[in-house]
Amino acid sequence: MDTGRKLSFSAKLRLRINHLRNTRRSLRLSRIVATPARPIPLESFGFYALVMTRDEEEVIADSIANAFAQGADRVLLIDHRSTDATVERAVHNGAELVASFDHETFHEMARIDLMNAVVDEVSSNSEHDHIWWLWFDADEFPRPAQGGTIRQTLEQLDREVRLVGARSINHYPTPGQPEYVPGVHPASYQLMAHEQDIWFCRKHHRKHPLQRWDRGAVPLQALSGFHSVSCAAGPIPEADLDLVIHHIQWRNRAATERRLAMDGRAKIGSYQRNYTERLASIDAIYTYDWAKVMNHHPLRSKPGIEVIDWREMTPQISPELPTWTLRDQGPSITD
């Protein structure tokens, strides 16, 4: 299948201009805070995680288990009309269903608005004056790049910091390894990976999944995809460190094809090309033909990605992965 993009010169120019504008805008939203020699951490805080799902039954138990392994006190779930066992498996593995996203098709800003509203309502009604929120998608496995847990990282942060960014690593099926194994961190067998080099702050972070709510302070507002975060009070103090997000979207092939074919974003103009290219890349991904896999960087129009063992990436990522035991093993990887 031909995965190449046939874009006119004017279309390519518009992509480049929009990318540069978005990058410049994002750079103004946070300021990197150097780690002090003697940080003054918060005396206490809550640590909650928030995920929105749609038909992710084969992975949701593991991504929730990862959030708890990172030290989260609670994992809150918003579901977008799942037709499979996503909600049941999530709740069985400790998540709390707090809201439903009832749009018939995908609507990114409505999704983000709802998630921001949940953060504000739950935080305001809690006993905490400070809550760190970990935002993640159902196929994302965030952790500190240098090892340990997210809670351990937060316990050492200076209290000035309200934002922590992350590198984003796209993982791919790896020759000689299974596509997906419930109950095991996927990065332990999906070794081949490609780091997304579209960044939204001066630390070159792809996403900003850790955001702190403070009672009485001007709130943070996550933006589309929680790539960036804004605050009416000015640039947000961001930690001078990295999380890493292991993005595991290419799992069992049959289930992946069904999920992509049903994804509402494939019918929306601003997302249509991206999802059409994902469908077109399936054969190449599952046959390890990396030269034919689409690269979604807005400044690159030709197919082809460079993949390496994620344990060999620079800057180095700790190879120590968290472990967990599921209450519900989920569907067979051959489903």
Q: How far apart are CA 174 and CA 248, in angstroms?
A: 12
pLDDT for res 199: 86
Task: Say if residues 23 and 199 touch (Cβ distance below 8 Å).
Answer: yes
Among residues 51, 57, 100, which one has the least CA distance to residue 75?
51
pLDDT for res 327: 85
pLDDT at 9 over 60: yes
pLDDT for res 147: 97
- Lowest-pLDDT range of 104-113, 185-194, 201-210: 104-113
Phi-psi region of 176 (alpha: psi -120 to 50; beta: other; left: phi over 0): left
Mean pLDDT, residues 245-268: 82
Under the banding of pLDDT at 50, 70 and 90, the label for residue 226 is very high
Task: Say if residues 200 and 206 touch (Cβ distance below 8 Å).
Answer: yes
**Pairwise pLDDT comparison (333 vs 153), residue with the higher score:** 153
Look up residue 278 and give its DSSP letter: H
Q: How far apart are CA 154 and CA 213, in angstroms?
A: 13
pLDDT for res 182: 96
The tally of CA atoms less than 13 A away on the side-chain side of residue 207 is: 25
Under the banding of pLDDT at 50, 70 and 90, the label for residue 85 is very high
Structure tokens at 235: 């640039």
- Please tell me whether the peptide bond between 315 and the residue prior to it is cis, using omega within 30 degrees of 0: yes
Q: What tens digit of pLDDT does each residue of 93-102 get?
A: 999 999 998 8
Under the banding of pLDDT at 50, 70 and 90, the label for residue 132 is very high
Q: How far apart are CA 237 and CA 34, in angstroms?
A: 10
Among residues 58, 95, 54, which one has the least CA distance to residue 76?
95
pLDDT for res 100: 93
pLDDT for res 114: 96
Give the number of other Cβ atoms within 10 Å of residue 33's Cβ: 18
Task: Say if residues 265 and 271 touch (Cβ distance below 8 Å).
Answer: yes
pLDDT at 165 over 90: yes
Task: Say if residues 273 and 196 touch (Cβ distance below 8 Å).
Answer: no
Among residues 219, 195, 213, which one has the least CA distance to residue 130?
213
Q: How far apart are CA 19 and CA 296, in angstroms?
A: 12
**Pairwise pLDDT comparison (324 vs 19), residue with the higher score:** 324
Exposed/middle/buried for residue 26 (C-beta within 10 Å: 0-12, 13-18, 19+): buried
Among residues 189, 179, 187, which one has the least CA distance to residue 332?
179
Q: How far apart are CA 191 and CA 289, in angstroms?
A: 15
Give the number of other Cβ atoms within 10 Å of residue 304's Cβ: 15
CA dihedral over 216, 222, 226, 229, signed as positive or negative: negative
pLDDT at 330 over 60: no
Cross-strand partners of 143: 244
Structure tokens at 237: 């103090």
Percent of the chain with pLDDT over 90: 74
Q: What tens digit of pLDDT does each residue of 170-203 get?
A: 999 999 999 999 999 999 999 999 998 888 899 9
Mean pLDDT, residues 249-258: 92
